[in-house]
Amino acid sequence: MNIPRTSFPRVVIIGGGFAGVALAKKLSKQEVQVVLLDKNNYHTFQPLLYQVSTGGLEPDSIAYPIRKILKDFPNFYFRLANVDEIDTEKNKVVTDIGKLKFDYLVVASGSETNYFGNSEIEKHSMAMKTIPQSLNLRSLILENFEDALLTSDLNERNALMNFVIVGGGPTGVELAGALAEIKKGILPKDYPDLDTRLAQIHIVQSSDCILKGMSDKASKKAEDFLEKLGVNIWKNVRVTNYDGKTVTTNTDLTFETATVVWAAGVKGATIKGVDAEEFITRGNRILVNEFNQVKGFNHIFAVGDIACMINDEFPNGLPMMAQPAIQQGKQLGDNLLRLIEEKPMHSFKYKDKGAMATIGRNKAVVDLKRFKFQGIFAWYVWMFVHLFFLIGFRNRMVVFVNWVYNYVRFDREARLIIRPFKKRLKT
Amino acid sequence: MNIPRTSFPRVVIIGGGFAGVALAKKLSKQEVQVVLLDKNNYHTFQPLLYQVSTGGLEPDSIAYPIRKILKDFPNFYFRLANVDEIDTEKNKVVTDIGKLKFDYLVVASGSETNYFGNSEIEKHSMAMKTIPQSLNLRSLILENFEDALLTSDLNERNALMNFVIVGGGPTGVELAGALAEIKKGILPKDYPDLDTRLAQIHIVQSSDCILKGMSDKASKKAEDFLEKLGVNIWKNVRVTNYDGKTVTTNTDLTFETATVVWAAGVKGATIKGVDAEEFITRGNRILVNEFNQVKGFNHIFAVGDIACMINDEFPNGLPMMAQPAIQQGKQLGDNLLRLIEEKPMHSFKYKDKGAMATIGRNKAVVDLKRFKFQGIFAWYVWMFVHLFFLIGFRNRMVVFVNWVYNYVRFDREARLIIRPFKKRLKT
């Protein structure tokens, strides 16, 4: 990779997610050379992917060109690259566009969908971790309704209008709520010749509550909201397989469906070279110390979802969410500069800013440290916080316009099958 | 196709472009059953596709779900279908989702890129007639710059930064202007480590002027504007081939380039069954009479780009543009109702509302019947007219927000490679 060597130490960051971008920003205008590698040329605001899938937002408004985030920073280099391996002996990263030597390396490669080893589920179900995946899901949902019109086989039509979401975390809950609103507000108008009452939305949750990381009150209220919207919640049920037609579970319950969204878990997206057993812990994450250092190295770090930092409050590691990633990225920026100046680094302390999830119009749940609230005020807070954390003024404006429009008109207009996902049924 | 038969006559429309949608709207709330078939579930506002390609707009804001356009109309049916054939003997359309009988048929299948039989050009060059094509072009442009960073071969780098647009019509001119503004305003910031002065934009035009259908003044001024923006215009040069690396012409001139955009011509997108020699005229279009009737039929019509209606003013047929399509669609709506009521139909009279093209910020050319003007006022008129003809309040708002933002910030933010188009170079 032809990146010039300067007298500044080179920090290579793998991944332009929340952690990688926060770190790169912190290192800007400092006496370091920063090379950010990502397989996309954009940063994805993952918390809003479900709105792309359900036609509420355009993909471009929740993504942001990485080059633009960092365009005013000297000594900053971006390369579109897949990292294949980290050579910890020679201090090099090996990518599909060549090798690159580093002085400091930060692994911020994030997480990927965890199918817990079930390749059939992986093959047949939809994930929602990236923009292309979210667009595929959008296309599939819309194609299903078009196909439901074509078939005269009632079982097939039911399967096409049956949506099974596996996992009752924020992703599953928000997607289910959005689908329920589409069923209520859009399907009857768009498909007057289809009995859209047949459309069913299911959440299958292996434990005894949804939104497990949140307060009991939030979990209970979210369940109420979803039930009011007509979503079926199946608790204490674990999905065992999906062959493309039938979902089987550890109970008698089965679902005939053309659409399974797998939101049941994520795991660290490890990279060869730091994936040996000595580095990896629960959830396929890289174990780090309080300075985000990877075991055995002074100059190799991991931040965000890929990093597992354990403390008394979080014996299984910090949650895999935006906030720990952003905070770790910022702190590591400071620490790297301290390390370079041979000053002692500061331990990372996670400031829990709470958690929130939206279920539908005027319906959200928010857990802050001191306050827990649900309903319309929570919904406004949810919107404000998400707009605030979006990168870019244009993105905020466009998302805001869309939200106001969708709210006033009970609509979601971005329902275009721009890239068909499945082959059409023939009848 | 399971569409119920009612006592109303059935009008089948093939294609949801400007003509098809204008016709369907006109027939709404009338005593006819309307079945609209399209291979996409959205209507595309083609005049703004070049802004999708150049990162100025999101695809979702220039497309609109067909079902939504017509959602309040009773007796309206939409089906996502590819029409394979028209059986004019049995009065049926044959599609990939089944057959459908019609009482009246309207072919509004539009136009497609005309490569004039050169399959090498077709294989290697980019077209810009559909949203997926425009997104592919956007990805390719951005991928080229990423790849230009990676190569140490100067010829290869030049080829990656060399853009050849074949055809100096509105599409070619508008795309060239947008690329020139990207070169000037965005590349130097996004790619500080690349000598973006190397980026070259060429228009190759086979005749002696650009914007041939417009006034001499508009053509001349557009040329001035483009030259000020640094676009190279090659007139009286005809491209003879492009093998993926080198563009050859009928002169000594050749171009080494990784990107050829073919905007040199369109032709009617005919359908089997009405594509026999007796029906087809210049430009692969279906010859129609003054009522848009196809020769030999009382109940089969063609409108828009696919229809070639000849009159004294337009001996080669009406221009393949939005206005004739919209006007024909509306008029045919009236005529169909008259035909059903056994009243005489009215001849179509084209009202030429003029033509316009935009070159860049504050730079456009407008030819109206009485006034011809260029520059900043023309640019405002161009924007106003395009916003006005966009379908949907949300689309107008989002496009407006983007335009204001792009204008104020000299920026185009939708520059994301969401679906990579080419395999990456390996270095």
Shortest distance, CA A280 to any CA of chain B (angstroms): 31
Note whether A217 and A372 are within 8 A (CB).
yes
Q: Quote the pLDDT of residue A423.
A: 64
Q: Which of A415, A43, A271, A142 is nearest to B416 (CA)?
A: A43
Question: Active site includes A156?
Answer: no
Q: What is the pLDDT of residues B87-135, one digit of tens each?
A: 999 999 999 999 999 999 999 999 999 999 999 999 999 999 999 999 9
Q: Quote the pLDDT of residue A110.
A: 97
Cβ–Cβ below 8 Å for A401 and B397: yes
Q: Which residues share a beta bridge with B211? A: none
User: Using a CB-CB distance cutoff of 8 angstroms, which residues of chain A are in contact with residue B424?
Assistant: 80, 96-97
Cβ–Cβ below 8 Å for B71 and A191: no
Rg (CA), chain B: 22
Q: Quote the pLDDT of residue A164.
A: 98
Q: Quote the pLDDT of residue A81.
A: 95
Cβ–Cβ below 8 Å for B146 and A425: no
Cβ–Cβ below 8 Å for A59 and B416: yes
User: Using a CB-CB distance cutoff of 8 angstroms, which residues of chain B are in contact with residue A80?
Assistant: 143, 146, 417, 424
Kindly list the distances between the CA atom of residue A399 and the CA atoms of A42, A148, A383, A388, A406, in Å, as whole numbers in the listed order: 17, 31, 10, 11, 10
Q: Quote the pLDDT of residue A426.
A: 45
Q: Tokens 């174990």 identify what position?
A: A287
Cβ–Cβ below 8 Å for B418 and A63: yes
Catalytic residue among B85, B122, B143, B174: B174
Q: Quote the pLDDT of residue A29.
A: 87
Average pLDDT over residues B276-301: 96
Note whether A13 and A35 are within 8 A (CB).
yes
Shortest distance, CA A168 to any CA of chain B (angstroms): 28
Give Cβ neighbours of residue B323 (< 8 Å, ≥ 6 apart): B350, B351, B352, B353
Q: Which of A66, A62, A10 is nearest to A38 (CA)?
A: A66
Shortest distance, CA A143 to any CA of chain B (angstroms): 9
Shortest distance, CA A159 to any CA of chain B (angstroms): 19
CA A14/CA A107 separation, integer angstroms: 5
Token digits of residue A26: 């912190």
Note whether A42 and A66 are within 8 A (CB).
yes
Average pLDDT over residues A256-283: 95
pLDDT category of residue B427 using cuts at 50, 70 and 90? very low
Residue A40 touches partner B, C-beta closer than 8 Å: yes
What homologous superfamily does CATH list for B10-39+81-113+266-340? FAD/NAD(P)-binding domain (3.50.50.60)
pLDDT category of residue B421 using cuts at 50, 70 and 90? confident
Average pLDDT over residues A7-24: 97
Cβ–Cβ below 8 Å for B152 and A424: no
Q: State percent of chain A over pLDDT 90.
A: 86
DSSP for B195-238, written as a single string: -GGG-EEEEE-SSSSSSTTS-HHHHHHHHHHHHHTT-EEE-S--
Residue B396 touches partner A, C-beta closer than 8 Å: no
Q: Quote the pLDDT of residue B260.
A: 98
Strands B111-113 and B246-249: unpaired
Q: Which of A379, A352, A356 is nearest to A173 (CA)?
A: A356
> Which one of A33, A67, A156, A194 would you mutate to disrupt binding with B, by most B Cβ within 10 Å of its Cβ?
A67
**Domain-by-domain residue ranges, chain A?**
10-39+81-113+266-340, 119-264
Closest residue of chain A to B68, computed from CA coordinates: A190
Q: Quote the pLDDT of residue B424.
A: 56
Strands B246-249 and A98-101: unpaired
Q: Which of A129, A166, A161 is nearest to A52 (CA)?
A: A129
Write the DSSP symbol of residue B47. Answer: G
Residue B99 touches partner A, C-beta closer than 8 Å: no
- Cβ contacts below 8 Å, chain A against chain B, sum to 162
Cβ–Cβ below 8 Å for A132 and B401: no
Complex confidence, ipTM: 0.91
CATH number for the domain running over B119-264 = 3.50.50.100
CB atoms within 10 A of CB B373: 17
Q: Tokens 């990779």 identify what position?
A: A1
Is the fold of A10-39+81-113+266-340 the same as that of A119-264? Answer: yes
Sheet holding B98-101, edge to edge: B83-87, B92-95, B98-101
